[in-house]
A and B are shown apart, each in its own frame.
Chain A
Amino acid sequence: MLNATITPLAAQTECTVEQIGTADLLVGVPSFNNADTIGHVVRAVRAGLAKYFPDRRAVLVNADGGSSDGTPSIVADTLVDFEVLFIGDRQSPLHRIVTPYHGIPGKGSAFRTIFEIAKRLNVQACAVVDSDLRSITPEWIELLLRPIVQEGFDYVAPFYQRHKYDGTITNSIAYPLTRALYGYQVRQPIGGDFGFSGDLARHYLNRHVWESDVARFGIDIWMTTEALTSGARVCQSFLGAKIHNPKDPAADLSDMLAQVTGALFSLMETHPAAWIPVRASEPVPLFGFQYETGVEPIHVNVDRMLEVFQQGLQDLQPIWSRMLSEESMAQLNALQGVSTTAFRMPDTLWVQVIYDTALSYHAGVLPKDHLLKALTPLYLGRTASFVLQTQGLTTREAEHHIESLCRTFESRKEYLVTRWP
């Protein structure tokens, strides 16, 4: 019988892991057809490990989902000219493991392979970074690993400098909800680049979630929430701007939103004892030198967002009526036909919409996929409202609005708790 606690590795990978034996640090890079960016990521990781951890035995693991563009060979062949980086005292060679991953296709399964290798090599600290990053520097590796190696933290979440309209799912749902639920102000809970201890990697591996949606998507919020609920010491590191390969945001918005909210709501069901008693939040330590960076401008089509919202208000009325409270519906209906300039979705309404949806998810009033995807027009309405509210404001000023939303999430948490069965 297959031992549920052992993740199968490819035969070649098993051999390589056995040859390496043990290591101190591991950096994982999940990939799928990232030939144009992964070379830069690998160079940054190599330089970071050589510069900041020259005396540590380190391993770079690339868990690939079957790329057809030569991504694994780029990982295997990329070289770094240490001299131009003034790195001269590299003492330990960097081992590279390029491996396919098993299981359901997705980032989660790639992470599972990385966790398994970390466990077998008995590493002290790990970091995972996205393979489509263009702004990663060697300093990221230090910032993600140093708090674990030196300060005794278990989990390092990223803290990016982002445009006020970049990461709107994080700003309007993931951050405020995680903060209100678990009481920790982790600004980028679904950032994608994390550091964690070897112990936490083992904890992740022992959770039986690898056949669920976590294996496909939602791994980022799952890792953060598991860290928060397991009592791990959590901190953040300032990484500067996050610039990655452009994706068409409209193409998979509904899926992305469903993945993040589905993971959040599902974790609420898994850890009720961890969030129900919490009534306030506390800051999480932040490492790194903070500075202002130029961020890429983002064009937002507010009219288009409001069109989808208004259409949802007309066509999805029967579905929304089943997942939202009468009070929320009354307030939403009042927004019907409101002009673009006058359109505002108040924080209190948005918070109630999210709490109602979480309650409906738990009660199973609709098939989960339908429920989560029916949230898209509401989210677009809220995002349009945020854009209209913060037009002309700097990113720092817009941050005050996000802070205000977080406080509303916290102050109205009683609404959720009293209705949670």
Chain B
Amino acid sequence: MTSQWIETLLEPVAVLGRQTLAIVPNVLAMSLLLLAGVGTAWFAGHAVERFLRVIGLDRVSDRLGLTSTFLRGGIKSAPSHLIGRTIHWLILLFASIASLEALHIDSISRLTHATVAYIPHLVIATLIGITGYLISNFVAQGVLIAAVNAGLPPARLIASAARWTIQLLSVAMALEQLGIAEHIVAVGFGITWGGIVFAAALAFGLGGKDLARSFLERRLAAPLHGSSHDDVHHH
């Protein structure tokens, strides 16, 4: 009876012990992978940062107005540092995923596979966002200068409109890449162009209503006048 009790009580402990022993190598592998990942991330992050600094990325960023834009957004780090840190965290992310895989637990594996499959979309979306941001700044600056040189009073408004149009478009494209609101680009385009055409038509109609009236009067009134003349003639 006593031995049965002891057996009943110790069995779960024994099972737990066996399971723990079975998982220990996996945990060790996970720890090793994580440790290697941390080391690699640290080294690669610093190496990339130093390399980018040497080739003058910060200078180019200064020239493109990126540094001052970052400053305005409260980011005081140089672009080389930012990219270095990004590389660091990306490697750390991959190392974490790989280390979790090493545990050979089904639910975690499914989660990591889904995460890995999503990463390319995330990278492309980030690239689209950054490219759109750079292009929008470049275009807005050019538009502002051209508008001031042309003596257009709402120069800043025009430049802002150009900047926001491009940024909205790039955000929409990035969201589409992420699988969020996939039809937003098509709908956005439809709404934007529809809006522009409608606004232009409205502006043209309101601005040119007098011109249109005089044109119509000339076109329509002349035959009327002519017909009355004819009438007079035939009378």
Contact = CB atoms under 8 A, between A and B. Distances in A.
User: Does chain A bind chain B?
Assistant: yes
Interface of A: 253-254, 304, 307-308, 311-312, 315-316, 318-319, 322, 364-367, 369-370, 373-374, 376-377
B155 interface: yes
A312 B148 contact: yes
Interface in B52-82: 59-60, 62-65, 68
Contact of A370 (B59, B141, B151): B141
B72 to A, nearest CB: 9
Nearest to B154: A315
B80 to A, nearest CB: 17
Given A365-B63, A370-B141, A370-B142, 11 more contacts: A307-B151, A308-B148, A311-B148, A315-B144, A319-B145, A364-B60, A367-B63, A367-B138, A367-B142, A373-B149, A377-B149
Contact of A369 (B65, B142, B155): B142
Contacts of A366: 63, 65
A326 to B, nearest CB: 15
B85 interface: no
| Residue with the highest number of chain A CB atoms closer than 10 Å, among B138, B142, B145 | B145
**Looking at B60, B141, B155, which has the most chain A CB atoms within 10 Å of its CB?**
B141
Nearest to A305: B151
B146 interface: yes
B64 A367 contact: yes
27 contacts: A253-B149, A254-B146, A307-B151, A308-B149, A311-B148, A311-B155, A312-B148, A315-B144, A315-B155, A316-B144, A316-B148, A319-B141, A319-B144, A319-B145, A364-B63, A365-B62, A367-B64, A367-B138, A367-B141, A367-B142, A369-B142, A370-B142, A373-B142, A373-B146, A373-B149, A374-B145, A377-B149
A377 B65 CA distance: 21
Contacts of B138: 367
Interface in B142-175: 142, 144-146, 148-149, 151, 153, 155-156
Contacts of B142: 367, 369-370, 373
Contacts of A367: 63-64, 138, 141-142
A367 B60 CA distance: 10
A254 B63 contact: no
B148 A315 contact: yes
Contact of A322 (B68, B144, B148, B151): B68
A367 to B, nearest CB: 7
B135 to A, nearest CB: 12
Contacts of A365: 62-63
Contacts of A370: 141-142, 145
Contacts of A322: 65, 68
A380 B156 CA distance: 20
Contacts of A319: 141, 144-145
Contacts of A316: 144-145, 148
Contact of B148 (A304, A318, A377): A377
B68 A364 contact: no
A327 B156 CA distance: 25
Contact of A376 (B59, B62, B141, B149): B149
B120 to A, nearest CB: 31
Interface in B23-69: 59-60, 62-65, 68
B59 A364 contact: yes
A301 to B, nearest CB: 11
